[in-house]
Structure formats: C-alpha cells, structure tokens
Structure 1
Amino acid sequence: MSETRSEKVFVSAVTVLLILLSALALIPLLSVVATSLSSKSVVDMNLVTIWPKQLTLDSWRYIIDRPDLWRSFALTLGSTLIGTVLALLMTALLAYPLSKPEFRWGGVVMIGVVVAMIFKAPIVPYFLTLRGLGLYNNPLVLIVPHVLNPFNLIIMRTFFKQFSKELEEAAFLEGCGYFRMLFQFVLPLSKAVLATLALFYGVVLWNQFQHPLLFLQNPDWFPLQIKIRQFITDDNVIMSGAVSSADLNYNERTLRAVTVIFAIIPIVAAYPFLQKYFVKGAMIGSVKG
C-alpha cells in the first residue's frame, strides 16, 4: 500500500526532527571525546569544541596505564556479567509460574510485585536490612540487590503469557516437566525479551552508583563509577603517579574526559549486538498485561 503525500511529508518531518535531536544529543559526547584527544594547552584555553586540536594520545596512555582503574573496570565488568545472568535466571524462574493461570497465588504475588515497583523502600531501613544480611563492605552488594526488578518481571511474565499453549501441552504429554519446559523450550524461544532485559539489567549494574557509595568503604572494592567520581572530584587522585614536568601534554580536564569515555565504551559496544532484539522484546512484553 503506497503512502499518501501527507504521510510522506509527516515521515520526512519526523526523520529530520529525529536527526536533529540525535545530533544535539551527540554534541556533549563529541566534546568530551575531543577533549580527551587534545593537548592540555588548547584545553586550558577553551579552544576545543567538538573536534580535537593538537591531537595527542598522552591522556589515554596515562589512564590506560592506571592499575587502579583497571581493577575497578574488572570488578564492574564481572559484577555486570554475573549479575545480569543471575537476574535473568531469577526473573525467568518467577515470571514463568506467574504466567500460568493454574498458579493459585499468582494474583497475590503480582499485587506484591506492583506494590514493590511503585513504592520504593525507605533508604534507612533498606540500608539496615542489607547490612544485616552481611552486604556492608561486601562486593556482593553490587549484585544481590539487583537480581530482580519488578518492572522487568512484568515484561517477562507478559511475554511468557503469549507463549504457544499448544507447544507446551504437546511437551507435557511427552512427560516434560515445568523446569525442563522452561529451560529447553521457553527460554530458547525467548531471545527477544531476554536480550531486552539483559540490556536493562546490564545498564543498571554497570552504572550503579548509590549502592557502592553507601555500602563499600574499601577502595579495593570501588567499581568504575565510584573511581570515576574520585577522578572528577579529586585532582590528587587523578594525577597521582603523573610525572612532574612542564612537558606533560595532559591535565586534569583531559584525563577526566578520558575516564568518562572509558566508562561508556563497553555499553556502547554491546548495544548494536542487542539492538535487533530490543524493540521487538520491549513491544512484545508490553502488548498485554
């Protein structure tokens, strides 16, 4: 079916508007990238906009040689990968029975899920509860509080409710149990929603700031976002180990720009591989309640 002229004009206008908005959103990022690749003299004179001037990689070499940054990066990467896998597993194990009408207490559990999504726990009782569980100054605090999200649970439950009942009934007739049904049939056919929720969980785990700020006191357990905060707020931290010389081609501003780009590269790199599943999974999981 061919588009009318008004529809073509509308699509063109929306396309131009989205391109302009995307360009505006990219300007701050391009400015940070340009700063990270520029010499300290032009940065000090505020001559850098969205294009590097006096191109140099000195700031990148200095940051990449920081063992404390790589330790924080490894901790954040490990907690993100492990936490995402555990979160998907826990979400699937709860969402699948909740999607079945024969689960007698499903309605009551879903009321609790919705309440947990709307009303967040007060910070002081929340802190005392996690401390009582032994998560204070424990790196597991980067994973355990994030293994189940009510909103993601609702999305996966809705997706499972639309799963083919005929396929499930045929599997049950062959002696397949619920666990085998979930892991051998349902999850392999749920790549769209799994990829979508993996991205949701992964971004939260990678960018988490409040939990490590509240619960971690040992600098050896600081994740990447806390380490970046140290770099941005404390000149002594970011410049520690730098050679004292007038010939240095980097300063605090260029180094901070590098750390910001360093922190977002993994998420930006992972998104294209999940993009083809993202829209499909989000739409399928939100069609029916």
Structure 2
Amino acid sequence: MFEARREKIFVFGITIVLILFSIIALVPLLSVIATSFSSKSAVDMNLVTLWPKQFTLDSWGYIIDRPDLWKSFFLTLVTTLIGTALALLMTALLAYPLSKPEFRWGSVIMIGVVVAMIFKAPIVPYFLTVRAIGLYDNPLVLIIPHILNPFNLIIMRTFFKQFSKELEEAAFLEGCGYFRMLFQMVLPLSKAVLATLALFYGVVLWNQFQHPLFFLQNPDWFPLQIKIRQFITDDNVILAGVTSMIDQNYNERTLRAATVIFAIVPIIMVYPFLQKYFVKGAMIGSVKG
C-alpha cells in the first residue's frame, strides 16, 4: 500500500515536471507564431505575447509570395527526401552484416564506428577532404556527408541482432540469399527502427546549416536554413521588392517570425505520422549492444 502510494506520488511529480518543461519549450514558439499573425503596430508597441494582436495574414501573404524562399524550400525538401532514403539504405546495408556473429571483421569495423562517433573530424581537414572530392559549391554536399551516421548505425545494428534467427534459417533453407533476406524479409519487419532513423536523418538534413555555409557559394543552391539566415540578418533581403513600408501591415519582425514558422512546419507535420514508431524503435535499438 505504501509502495503504491509512493509510486503514484513519484509519477505525479514527474508529470508536473514534464508539463513545466513542455510549457517552457512552447512559450518561445507560441510567441513567434503570435508575432507572425500580428500587425506591425502591435509588434512595434510590444503588445504581442502569446496571442496575436490585431490579427492579420499580411506577413504570411508576403512570405508565401517570395519565389526565392520557395526555391530554397523545394531544394531542402528534395535533398531531405533523397538523403533520408539513401541514408536508410546505406545504414541498413552496413548494419545487417555487422549484426551477424559470423561476419569476421564485424568487431573491428564496430571499433572504427565507435571511434568515429566519439571523435569528430577536425574542421580544416574535413573541409579540405570534402573540397578535394568535388563537393565544394556542389548541391550534393547537402546529401552525401549525411548518408551514414555512426549512432544511427549502432541503433539499427542492435535492432537487427534481435531479429529471429529461426526465421532467417528457414529462409536460407529455401534458397534465400543475404540481400534478398534483407530487402524482402528483414526491412519490411523493421518499420519501427526505420521510422525512427528516418526522423533522425530527416531532421538533420532539413535543419543543416554548417555544411551549406561552408561549402556553397552559389545562391541558387542555398537551402532553406541559409535563406532564413539571410532573412533574419539582412533587411535588404527580406524586404526585397517592397517599395514602401508605410502602406504595409507588416515589418521586419513579423516577416522573420513568419519565415521561422514556415521552416519548421513540415517537420512538425511529419512527426505525428512517425510518433507511433518512434519510441518503440528507439527503445528496441537500445536494449542490448
């Protein structure tokens, strides 16, 4: 009886703490959303807190009509989709043999994977290497350096190690090879870990900032995050084409707020569809090494 009461108190306390942290995390987001839907006079007078004042869609209308923003958006969307698919393919192709005890060099390769996860490459040698292989000012730099992550590889390898050996042995007796086993049996039964790692890779590819900042010079190849940076730091970029602000019901602050929300909405929309797999995949991938 006493232990049950203590457990209820503990769960209640944890719930309160998580709710408080959730509120703290949501307050800045709600403030930005409110600013994007408020008039410029309300924003200039600092009347906006967590709810729009003098509601207007003018800022969003201006942002949605910017072709350069949409160009960056679609570039980021394409690189995210292609990069995530390639990353899952490469991770699976490496994780599956590493999950097999009969793979002779598996332990040696895993040591290299762990070392790569712990010790990141220095920036200057990394920059020189990426430039030497022809990825400087090349849009492929938005994809290729991200198609294999050591941490995600370890999660998928751990998941594959728990796959039914009896099922694999039965398939081998029917003449199924390793590649056919992987693509026709293992991966279709691995939706949880695939969805989890797809979210991990997708968020990294969508939000990447350092790589395009270092390696891209052509404005035509700027992804969404670099374009947002231009909008936030340069008034001339965000107000390009605006002849007069007097007749407009928006200003730099409302436009920047709308741009930030514009960039994060796709990830927020995708997450609910992956949520049912997310916790399961992350937990299964961490049960044993």
> Taking structure 2 as the reference length, what is the TM-score of the superposition?
0.98
| Superposition deviation, residue 18 in structure 1 | 1.2
Is 2:212 the counterpart of 1:212?
yes
| Deviation digits for residues 234-259 of structure 1 (CA, Å, limit 9, x no counterpart) | 00000001241412100000000000
Corresponding residue of 1:110: 110
Cα contact 2:130–2:136 (8 A) shared by 1: yes
Corresponding residue of 1:185: 185
Deviates more, 1:239-248 or 1:77-86: 239-248
| Deviation digits for residues 94-115 of structure 1 (CA, Å, limit 9, x no counterpart) | 0000000110010111111011
Deviates more, 1:85-94 or 1:111-120: 111-120
Partner-residue secondary structure (3-state), 2:54: coil
Corresponding residue of 2:76: 76
Is 2:41 the counterpart of 1:41?
yes
| CA–CA separation in structure 2 for the residues paired with 1:260 and 1:244 | 23
| CA–CA separation in structure 2 for the residues paired with 1:52 and 1:177 | 60
Partner-residue secondary structure (3-state), 1:89: helix
Is 2:48 the counterpart of 1:14?
no
Corresponding residue of 1:281: 281
Cα distance change on mapping 1:146 and 1:245 into 2, 3 Å: closer
Corresponding residue of 2:152: 152
Cα contact 2:142–2:205 (8 A) shared by 1: yes
| CA–CA separation in structure 2 for the residues paired with 1:5 and 1:64 | 54
| Deviation digits for residues 177-218 of structure 1 (CA, Å, limit 9, x no counterpart) | 000000000000000000000000000000000000000000
| Deviation digits for residues 25-78 of structure 1 (CA, Å, limit 9, x no counterpart) | 100000000000000011011111000000000000000000000000000000
| Superposition deviation, residue 20 in structure 1 | 1.6
| Superposition deviation, residue 13 in structure 1 | 1.8
Corresponding residue of 2:258: 258
Cα contact 2:81–2:202 (8 A) shared by 1: yes
Corresponding residue of 1:32: 32
Structure 1 unaligned blocks of 5 or more: none
Instruction: List structure 1 runs of 4+ shifted beyond 2 angstroms.
Output: none
Cα contact 2:245–2:251 (8 A) shared by 1: no
**Count of residue pairs the alignment pairs up:** 289
Partner-residue secondary structure (3-state), 2:250: coil
Corresponding residue of 2:54: 54
Partner-residue secondary structure (3-state), 2:84: helix
Is 2:59 the counterpart of 1:65?
no
> Taking structure 1 as the reference length, what is the TM-score of the superposition?
0.98
Partner-residue secondary structure (3-state), 1:47: coil
| Superposition deviation, residue 268 in structure 1 | 0.5
Partner-residue secondary structure (3-state), 2:249: coil
The aligned amino acid for 2:264 is: I
Corresponding residue of 1:247: 247
Corresponding residue of 2:229: 229
Corresponding residue of 1:203: 203
| CA–CA separation in structure 2 for the residues paired with 1:265 and 1:18 | 23
| Superposition deviation, residue 4 in structure 1 | 1.6
| CA–CA separation in structure 2 for the residues paired with 1:93 and 1:75 | 27
| Superposition deviation, residue 272 in structure 1 | 0.5
Cα contact 2:91–2:153 (8 A) shared by 1: yes
| Superposition deviation, residue 6 in structure 1 | 1.9
| CA–CA separation in structure 1 for the residues paired with 2:285 and 2:10 | 28
Root-mean-square deviation over aligned CA pairs: 1.3
Structure 2 unaligned blocks of 5 or more: none
| CA–CA separation in structure 1 for the residues paired with 2:59 and 2:215 | 31
Corresponding residue of 2:99: 99
Deviates more, 1:87-96 or 1:117-126: 117-126
Corresponding residue of 1:271: 271
The aligned amino acid for 2:194 is: L
